[in-house]
Structure 1
Amino acid sequence: MSTWDESSRLLSVTKQPQEKEGNDMTPFRRPILFGSLLFIVLLGGFALAFRPHYAKSDPFPSDFLFGAATSAYQIEGATESRGWTVWDTFLRQTPTLDRSNASVACDHYHLMKQDVTLMKDLNLQAYRFSISWSRIMPSGTNETTRQEGLDFYNQLINELLKHNITPFVTLFHWDTPQGLEDRFGGWMDERTVKAFVAYARLAFATWGDRVKHWITINEPWTVAVNGYSTGIHAPGKQDASAPYRVAHNLLRAHAMATHVYRMEFQTQQKGVIGMAHSGDFRYSADDDSAAAERAMLFRFGWFVDPIVFGDYPQVMKERLGHRLPTISNEERILFLSASTDFLGLNYYSSLVASTPAREANYSGYWADIHVDFSSKPEWSQNFMGWSVVPDGLREMLLWIHKRYHGPTIYITENGSCEDELNVDAAIKDEKRRWYVQEHLRACSEAIEEGVNLVGYFLWSLMDNFEWQFGYQRRFGIYYVDFKTLNRTPKSSAVFYRDTIGARGRNLAIATRLKSHRKLADSSRSRRQIPDRVLIGYASHKLESVRHAISQGVNVIMWSFVDFRASFHYSDSSTTPHRRLLNVKNVVPDTTLDLEAVKTFIRELDLEGHGSILHMIAVGGWNGKHLDPLVSAKEWYDAFDTYLGDVFDGIDWDLEGNDDMKSIYNTFTFECLDKMGEISRMAHEDGYVVSIAPPQSYLDIHGSSDFSRAVNLTDKTRQWHNDFTYFGRNVYAYLLQKYGPWIDLVSLQFYESYSRAAMTILEGGVTPAAYLVEFVEELALTNCTFQVNFEQDPHTNLKVTNISLPLSKLVLGFANGWASNAGNKTLFVPSKEISSAWGSLRAKDSLPRGMMFWIIDEEGTNGVNMSHDLGQILAESCETSKC
């Protein structure tokens, strides 16, 4: 029965018998929540996909997910319908504070439909729950499976989808089947890993047609440390080495299950998979950054570094020695190849970290980490004794974003425990309401800073069995009377419902003056020909841009500007004592009015063309390069301060008639490092960073030249590749050293500017054929190629593997032209482009996108090419049924 509380307008429920249902596995797919790919754009020779611009009044993007989370052991009850777990055994040996157990808990097993109704009433878009491993496989192995358990989760998933709630399924949330502990010693043994993989395979096969978001393991840190070092969690072990062995097996379990999903299910089911990590932030005490970083790496880096970098953090290897398992080459390949589609973050609190005066006189994880923790006087504490630090969530997200190069992140848990043992105190949970509000504010600030945060799951939907604390610690936004099992909404539930409905606009969130348009996540499904190609040129042709938009062609504004230093010298010194950065137009016979450009883009935004990006092009045929007398930070700070509200990113365009003797154009490694440092700062602040190689063919065959000696796109223009120093290894160097902060790499396989010249190429083979050849070879090498720097006297690098993921690769084409009474007639090489793109699609080797140069080639008729572009798109979409 459902009753309405008129003050909150949220459903409360009382326990009612649940009708038995059959095994309904009918797929139900809700509309795609991440359908924000949206568009492909040209960046001075680059195509890219980006998240749509959203109004500054919106704290969260339109595709941001709001959800709530629970776990099976804590809410389901119905222990008679599942196998025994290590927690059941542990609680008999080590009773809770109230000497309770989870045999009934919230009785979600029988009240599932009513609970989904509560979720719907909250406006939840997603629900994260875990599968009880022993409810599916009572002994933990696939020797025996229980259909009743499979049926329950089928019904839950279908019920969620029926109400347009996206299921996020966690496979393991601490409740290891006791049978695995008895037979193998649990997570200490490799056989438990194999059992988990078999369990995961069954889950993917059974529910993967409807479940598109998988979490393999919840908080492996908690399992390893609390379960095997301190012993405060099941199975209650206390051992100095066991946590590291357990952690290694948990990582193997994640990687092997992920590998199974990728190889056997992901292509057809089109889901994503990751892991949820415990990740409270650690502030530095008295500039003791080493202690704070050590604490972060011993907790978060312990489990994320191996699947991102292929190894444990160096500080752990140094402090633990032989007690830390060595990651073998086979495991490294497994970890990196399986990797993760997203990172889940469970954040609750923060602490201040400092280095103790001496080493601990005891053994175990907390001695190994060698960090003292404290709180700040201004921080309040909740009923768990945890400091409430909303800003720590923002700092944690920024730390993850920086260390792991901008991964997709979900807040998979965030919530607070308050003192509310009676319903009257619980309903007025103002502290929890404030906690949720301020942590959502921190999320919005992190997004504004460029963090790719795409969802938030509040812990927890309802009060539940809180592990060793029993029922005396409450995290829910629904109060549960554990005698009657009635659910009553708290004030925090009303607030969260309203916040979801308002998309966060009810939050008092200060936004930055600048709001850069950002790249969307890259995925294989998003690497496809767009429904509209974006082409662009320079911002001084505003009317040409507007005309192109009217023809249905999206545009990037690409401004050629000279952004460099101007010096003032004293009479007695040749050293400048004052530096000013000037911005001026460098395109001949044109004018550049950045205020006009800014106004123009704002007008286009209001007209519904918010996908336009404005890039500053540094270098190239018209631009100047970096002044050696201006540091990377000086350049970036000036750019961010004075031009950050005009530009959305930086394009390093290292091409053209560069005077190599000029101090502004010399490509030394100092100059390249400066570009890399600027790229890092820009990327971390949310700008788009791209590099545009000249008309080159990236060499994946080991040559010392990064560009081939001849211009593959037109042998009649061989002079174009007569570069001096910077034609050798420049892009390989940038990608090798600064690749994580470069968002896009454009390969410009230009069709000829002359139809006649195209017939010269090897029996009439067009440049598009070379394009296909390159991408296919790159895909076969797992998106890496080897560059031999040994012949280059300017660097001490040797033979180096360079990574160029398809998710960063953009293929460029240019218009052709034919002479017509002395005038250019522009055309699109439609047949060649369409054929190349179709060939790559057929071999599942699509790059991030395509671009087309340009709106206006020193003339006014470029926009008339939109008809030909439309034909390419129509043919491609017809072929791929897009």
Structure 2
Amino acid sequence: MSPKHTLSRAHTFPADFVWGVATSSFQIEGAAQADGKGPSIWDSFCQVPGAIADASNGLVACEHYDRWQADVDLIASLGVNAYRFSVSWPRVQPLGQGAFNEAGLNFYAQLVDALIAKGIAPYVTLNHWDLPQALQDQGGWANRDTVQHFVNYASEIFKRLGNRVAAYTTHNEPWVIAVLGHESGIFAPGLKSRATTMQVSHHLLLSHGMTLQALRAQGCNVPLGIVLNLSPTVPASDSAADQAKAILEDGRLLRWYMDPIFKKVYPQDVMADLGSEAPHIEPGDLDIIATPMDYLGVNYYTRSVVSADGSWKPQNSGLPLNDMDWEIFPEGLSQLLIRMHQDYPLPPIYITENGGAFPDALKVGQVDDQDRIRYIDQHIDALAQAMAQGVPVNGYMVWSLMDNFEWSSGYAKRFGIVHVDYASQKRTFKASAHWYQDFLTYQRQQQHHANAGKTAAITGVD
């Protein structure tokens, strides 16, 4: 079902390039009350009437907690060499402080062992949004004490998983945690305060820097980094108001996180706009946040178009949209990466999430998701174009391995390259999974031919 001749096949990637798939704990694990797991803020948020579009929750999700061995086999069959997943903090430490839960720790240790046995590098995210509810009851990320609790939790995960994993990510998309969770209130914990939002963002970045220092002091010698959701931000028109708004929103989405990490400062235009709502920053905080990283993860889905009056709608752009009503704009990925390369001293970059939700239909045991194939193909092509301009990209991971709980959208939106029948939990490769499988085989063949050519040139044998 998948097309053979594609944009992305015009490029041969380095032999050590990382190709993977990604998930997160709350979205797939289920077993929300099993084996001593504590509640997270998302367990609580799902109980709020109207918070989740289909009134669903993560109690069962994809039953990955019980089906993990079969899921590892499924990942291996794709031919990827990396799997990015997150640890559920309340599964391993139910209260977010104090005693750890051996059953939860053992689950992730077994998962890592199984991945390594299959030749799949585990990329571990420590925080993909499911903060223990017990910590939220004490103020959550707005409480500076949570910073130290996170460092203690991360240290315990390193004690258990050690240097066997490929990399540790501190936080996934701190902008989402801060803005969607504390300003718009459409994500957990569902608060609406800009001042709280900015304090949360500062504490997330502070805990990131402190964790890097703590893990290295413990002897961690695998790459450490953070994952940011980033987009090029453009004005909806040439009006002065729209252009000024785009600059400010770029400051809130990209520069607010990149500047302190790489330049040891928050952007002054955003600070000025915040006024009394700016975060409290203690002496030395920015030095900690700017602790050098080994890599930066970038999650890219679409561009950000802004208008001063908030009237711009994706439906008016003329571009194709996915099932989230997000524009499909692959050139935005190369634009973003090239701009970042020009503005910051970047470490190696990994595209840690990229994919699209589409209205998939299972017909006669198959899902012919050509829109998703086209999306992934075009974005890999855009990635290669950025690399040709010197951007240091070391890997690419599709979001997502499988259909799952899509946060406030519930189970209504499907991002997976593997279809999940939520009633039976049956996994079915979509056409996009077969395409990705074929693409990775093609890349290995191209690398084999390239290596054979190098050997022939050296030996004089053809």
TM-score, structure 1 length as denominator? 0.48
Which of 160, 165, 168 aligns to 1:214? It is 168
Query: How many Å apart are 1:328 and its aligned residue?
Result: 4.0
Query: How many Å apart are 1:285 and its aligned residue?
Result: 4.4
* Matched ranges for 1:139-178 at <5 A: 139-141=95-97, 143-178=98-133
Aligned mates of 2:91, 2:15 — CA distance in 1: 37
Query: How many Å apart are 1:127 and its aligned residue?
Result: 0.2
Query: How many Å apart are 1:402 and its aligned residue?
Result: 1.2
2:384 maps to 1:444: yes
Query: How many Å apart are 1:373 and its aligned residue?
Result: 4.7
CA deviations over 1:272-295 (Å, ceiling 9, x no partner): 111111112223445565543332
C-alpha change, 1:302 and 1:373, in structure 2 (3 Å) is: farther
2:325 maps to 1:385: yes
Aligned residue number for residue 462 of structure 1: 402
Query: How many Å apart are 1:329 and its aligned residue?
Result: 3.8
Which of 449, 452, 457 aligns to 1:607? It is 457
Contact 1:70 1:460 in 2 (8 A): yes
Query: How many Å apart are 1:377 and its aligned residue?
Result: 3.3
Amino acid of the structure 2 residue aligned with 1:245: Q
Aligned residue number for residue 87 of structure 1: 42
State the secondary structure of the residue aligned to 1:379: coil
Aligned residue number for residue 495 of structure 1: 435
2:89 maps to 1:133: yes
Amino acid of the structure 2 residue aligned with 1:68: V
Aligned residue number for residue 344 of structure 1: 297
Amino acid of the structure 2 residue aligned with 1:324: A
C-alpha change, 1:57 and 1:434, in structure 2 (3 Å) is: closer
Contact 1:71 1:129 in 2 (8 A): yes
CA deviations over 1:33-79 (Å, ceiling 9, x no partner): xxxxxxxxxxxxxxxxxxxxxxx964312211100000000000111
C-alpha change, 1:274 and 1:175, in structure 2 (3 Å) is: same
Amino acid of the structure 1 residue aligned with 2:419: Y
Amino acid of the structure 2 residue aligned with 1:271: V
Aligned residue number for residue 59 of structure 2: 103
2:278 maps to 1:324: yes
2:18 maps to 1:78: no
Aligned residue number for residue 61 of structure 1: 14
State the secondary structure of the residue aligned to 1:80: coil
State the secondary structure of the residue aligned to 2:164: coil
Aligned mates of 2:74, 2:362 — CA distance in 1: 21
* Matched ranges for 1:641-660 at <5 A: none
2:226 maps to 1:271: no
* Matched ranges for 1:286-365 at <5 A: 286-287=237-238, 290-325=244-279, 327-336=281-290, 338-356=291-309
Query: How many Å apart are 1:445 and its aligned residue?
Result: 0.5
* Matched ranges for 1:395-544 at <5 A: 395-420=335-360, 422-423=362-363, 427-503=367-443
Aligned residue number for residue 227 of structure 1: 181
* Matched ranges for 1:864-875 at <5 A: none
CA deviations over 1:607-664 (Å, ceiling 9, x no partner): 359xxxxxxxxxxxxxxxxxxxxxxxxxxxxxxxxxxxxxxxxxxxxxxxxxxxxxxx
* Matched ranges for 1:729-740 at <5 A: none
Contact 1:107 1:485 in 2 (8 A): yes
More strand per residue: 1 or 2? 1
State the secondary structure of the residue aligned to 2:218: helix
Aligned residue number for residue 253 of structure 1: 207
Contact 2:294 2:348 in 1 (8 A): yes
Query: How many Å apart are 1:400 and its aligned residue?
Result: 1.3
State the secondary structure of the residue aligned to 2:394: strand
Query: How many Å apart are 1:194 and its aligned residue?
Result: 1.1
Amino acid of the structure 2 residue aligned with 1:306: P
Query: How many Å apart are 1:422 and its aligned residue?
Result: 4.1
C-alpha change, 1:499 and 1:604, in structure 2 (3 Å) is: closer
Q: Which runs of 5+ in 1 are unaligned?
A: 1-6, 9-55, 357-370, 507-602, 610-882
Aligned mates of 2:413, 2:356 — CA distance in 1: 10
Q: CA RMSD in A?
A: 2.3
* Matched ranges for 1:411-810 at <5 A: 411-420=351-360, 422-423=362-363, 427-503=367-443, 607-608=457-458
Query: How many Å apart are 1:420 and its aligned residue?
Result: 2.1
CA deviations over 1:462-488 (Å, ceiling 9, x no partner): 000111111111100000000100000
Aligned mates of 1:126, 1:428 — CA distance in 2: 25
Aligned mates of 1:445, 1:410 — CA distance in 2: 15
State the secondary structure of the residue aligned to 2:304: strand
Higher-Rg structure is: 1
Aligned mates of 2:230, 2:59 — CA distance in 1: 30
Aligned residue number for residue 802 of structure 1: none
Contact 1:77 1:102 in 2 (8 A): yes
Aligned mates of 2:263, 2:353 — CA distance in 1: 25
State the secondary structure of the residue aligned to 1:61: coil
Contact 1:76 1:106 in 2 (8 A): yes
Aligned mates of 2:327, 2:18 — CA distance in 1: 26
Amino acid of the structure 1 residue aligned with 2:457: E
Q: Which runs of 5+ in 2 are unaligned?
A: 3-8, 447-452
Aligned residue number for residue 113 of structure 1: 69
Query: How many Å apart are 1:399 and its aligned residue?
Result: 1.5
Aligned mates of 1:91, 1:239 — CA distance in 2: 20
More helix per residue: 1 or 2? 2
TM-score, structure 2 length as denominator? 0.90
Query: How many Å apart are 1:296 and its aligned residue?
Result: 2.0
Q: RCO higher in 1 or 2 (8 Å CA, sep ≥ 6)?
A: 2
Aligned mates of 1:99, 1:422 — CA distance in 2: 23
Question: Percent identity among equivalent residues?
Answer: 38
Amino acid of the structure 1 residue aligned with 2:303: S
State the secondary structure of the residue aligned to 2:423: coil
Contact 2:233 2:303 in 1 (8 A): yes
Amino acid of the structure 2 residue aligned with 1:65: V
Aligned length: 440
Aligned mates of 1:504, 1:313 — CA distance in 2: 43
Contact 2:293 2:347 in 1 (8 A): no
C-alpha change, 1:394 and 1:426, in structure 2 (3 Å) is: farther
Amino acid of the structure 2 residue aligned with 1:89: S
Query: How many Å apart are 1:438 and its aligned residue?
Result: 0.3
CA deviations over 1:319-377 (Å, ceiling 9, x no partner): 112321254441122122x2321111111111333444xxxxxxxxxxxxxx7655463
Contact 1:421 1:472 in 2 (8 A): no
Which of 173, 176, 194 aligns to 2:148? It is 194
Contact 2:122 2:165 in 1 (8 A): yes
CA deviations over 1:486-543 (Å, ceiling 9, x no partner): 000000001111111112989xxxxxxxxxxxxxxxxxxxxxxxxxxxxxxxxxxxxx
C-alpha change, 1:504 and 1:392, in structure 2 (3 Å) is: farther
Amino acid of the structure 2 residue aligned with 1:244: M
Aligned mates of 1:164, 1:350 — CA distance in 2: 35
Contact 1:351 1:374 in 2 (8 A): no
Aligned residue number for residue 242 of structure 1: 196
